[in-house]
Amino acid sequence: MTADDRRGTDEHGHDVIDPLYVAIVTVSSSRATGEADPDDPGGDTIAACFEAEGHEVRERVLVRDDYAAIRSAVRSLVSDREIDVVVTTGGTGVTADDVSPEATASLFERELPGFGELFRMLSWEEVGTRAMASRATAGIAVDTPVFCLPGSTNACRTACEQLIVPEAPHLAGLATAHRGELEETTLDAYER
């Protein structure tokens, strides 16, 4: 089923894609060891949140804390028209190898600053002043919403349950709404 087959409108008439096809990128040098089935609690939490709402996880990728590896994985996923949303987990802190925000943001055509602001506000309620150390971010890359989350399961659960899963169908619908318009314009020009 393509995104066009899953496209609709919500109760307010806004474009939505539902169910979503989701890709998860786990960023962790300690887990990216080549082991056949590494432990991935952050990725598992994200998958469970989306699947609980009827969405489908289509891809799961594990990469080390490396700018080029993260950027390459995310770029490949947002280029796949069958993927509606990409969520990364890990590498959003302040250590020298925490480069997920830079690697993902380098692909953004449009940023979604409200996501990071809201996430840190919710995190403040859970962890207090340590919330300021999170560099969680989001944006649109190749018409695909991309969310960059910390690696903790609590952070993944909070972000997914309270922010991403409720809003991602709408964001994915908005980010791709022009595709149908472009195809109609192209068909109209061709028929002339």
Task: CATH number of the domain at 68, please.
Answer: 3.40.980.10
Each residue's pLDDT tens digit, 2-26: 777 899 998 888 899 999 999 999 9
pLDDT of residue 186: 40
pLDDT of residue 58: 98
DSSP string for the chain = --HHHHEEE-TTS-EEESSPEEEEEEE-TTT-S--SS---HHHHHHHHHHHHTT-EEEEEEEE-S-HHHHHHHHHHHHT-TT--EEEEES--SSSTT--HHHHHHTT-SEE-HHHHHHHHHHHHHHHGGGGGG---EEEEETTEEEEEE-S-HHHHHHHIIIIIHHHHHHHHHHHHHHHHHHHHHHHHHHH-
pLDDT of residue 138: 98
pLDDT of residue 20: 98
Neighbours of 183 (CB within 10 A): 11
How far apart, in Å, are the Cα atoms of 46 and each of 20, 36, 116, 129, 153? Answer: 13, 20, 17, 24, 8
pLDDT of residue 178: 83
Structural domain tally of the chain? 1
| Residue ranges, the chain, pLDDT below 70 | 31-37, 180-192
Indicate the pTM of the whole model.
Answer: 0.90
Domain span including residue 92: 3-191
